[in-house]
Amino acid sequence: MNYKNSDIAQAAKLLKQKLDKLPIAQKPTILRSKELKSLFEKVKLLPPAERPAFGAEVNKLRQHLETLVNGVKQATERLEPIDLTAPFDINVEPNKRPAVLSADDGSIHPLMIELDLILDNLYRMGFNAVESRQIDDDYHMFGSLNFPEDHPARDDYDTFMTSEGLIAPAHTSTMQNRVLKLYKSNLSHGQPIAVAIPGRVFRNEDVDVRHEHTFYQLEGVYVDKGVTVGHLIATLKSFLQEYYGKDLEVKIQPFYFPFTEPSFEFTLSCPFCDKAGCAICSYSGWIELLGCGLIHPNVLKEAGIDPKIYSGFAWGGGIDRLVMMKYDIEDIRHFEAGRLSFLRQF
Ligand code: DAH
């Protein structure tokens, strides 16, 4: 594009060089650049006779820049989709790309190997499995679990929320209302509700060897006539004894969860040192493992189950924690780090 006026020709050259250097997303800013603005301002300062010719050329330059910017926009809109998971830059020639691992070299993630064992163990005790979800809402996260609006107990479950108000669940208890409703017809047929719920959960954590923002929990829900804390303790004790392959002592101590009454923290004798004290149990001989209790009457009612006729127990705890203890894994971050040297040991 040629310009008769030398100022405009010079500005055009400069602006085109600038446009070339701008990243794609910022190219439209050239139309608001100070160089272009000052050319428009200059029009007003010129003697009236010179204004039309100068003004026409500045407009021509602006239109030209606009065409260039729109051209880039259209070109990017036409770009072929790229495979973000490809382990090489898309411009690398095929014969120079790194060899992709064959699927035969893969292995099942240690947490999933252990989860299979855990679910098999619980299945033989009469529990079927329902997977939890990775996106949920306020009602299932709090309301259906007897957390009053604005109750401080909600603060213990600080997690991530989308701008639409959807929640990355902070615990698998979000599934309680769903499984209670799904299986409540069992009760009228004289059968209990017995469900194990594994799932991925998310918390706004300061990440360290014991805390991850993403981890796995296992929830258990059992409802029938005449269910007591004794059933809860016996179920968890036999489950954990089978998982660790040895006799264990257990203790419960009072705790608070809005969705259970009474609520407990479940503690077991350290499977490594048999209460002698070791690094795994912080030399206390005991390990606080999970939360549990008798399902709060309001939670049963909310699912349409009459708490005067039926009662139940529930528990929830980290699967990562169970597995870390079983194999003496010192850092929870190994599970999500994707390091083959760790994963291949299983
Ligand atoms: N959801 C609780 C947590 O993540 C754990 C829990 C406690 C689950 C008691 C239960 C329960 O089902 O009854 O901290």
Confidence of residue 87 (pLDDT cuts 50, 70, 90): low
Kindly state whether residues 189 and 336 are assigned to the same domain: yes
Q: Which of 1-10, 117-126, 157-166, 307-316 has the weakest average pLDDT? A: 1-10
Residue nearest to atom 2 of ligand 1 (CA): 316
DSSP secondary structure letters along 318-346: EHHHHHHHHHT---TTHHHH--HHHHTT-
Ligand 1 lined by 219 (C-beta under 6 Å)? yes
Q: Which of 95-109, 145-159, 295-309 holds the top average pLDDT?
A: 295-309
Q: Which domain holds residue 243?
A: 110-343
- pLDDT tens column, 250-266: 999 999 999 999 999 99
**CA distances in angstroms from 321 to 1, 67, 114, 202, 310, listed in the order given:** 69, 60, 11, 15, 32
Kindly state whether residues 58 and 146 are assigned to the same domain: no
Kindly state whether residues 271 and 329 are assigned to the same domain: yes
pLDDT value of residue 1: 74
Q: What is the CA radius of gyration of the chain?
A: 32
Whether the model clears a pTM of 0.95, i.e. scores above it, the answer is no
- pLDDT tens column, 286-333: 989 999 999 999 999 999 999 999 999 999 999 999 999 899 898 999
Kindly state whether residues 71 and 197 are assigned to the same domain: no
Kindly state whether residues 209 and 286 are assigned to the same domain: yes
Of the residues 216, 231, 257, 296, which should be mutated to test ligand 1's pocket, given the most ligand atoms within 8 Å of the CB? 257
- Report how far residue 11's alpha carbon sits from residue 161's, in angstroms, rounded to the nearest whole number: 48
Ligand 1 lined by 315 (C-beta under 6 Å)? yes
Kindly state whether residues 324 and 261 are assigned to the same domain: yes
Ligand 1 lined by 216 (C-beta under 6 Å)? no
Q: Assess contact for 319 and 114: CB atoms under 8 A.
A: yes
Give me the number of domains the chain comprises: 2
Kindly state whether residues 65 and 207 are assigned to the same domain: no
The identity of residue 139, as a single letter, is Y
The chain-wide mean pLDDT, for the chain, equals: 91
Kindly state whether residues 211 and 338 are assigned to the same domain: yes
Q: Assess contact for 31 and 66: CB atoms under 8 A.
A: yes
The identity of residue 249, as a single letter, is E
Kindly state whether residues 63 and 120 are assigned to the same domain: no
Kindly state whether residues 297 and 149 are assigned to the same domain: yes
CA of 42 to the centre of ligand 1 (A): 71
Task: Pick the atom of ligand 1 nearest to 293's CA.
Answer: 13
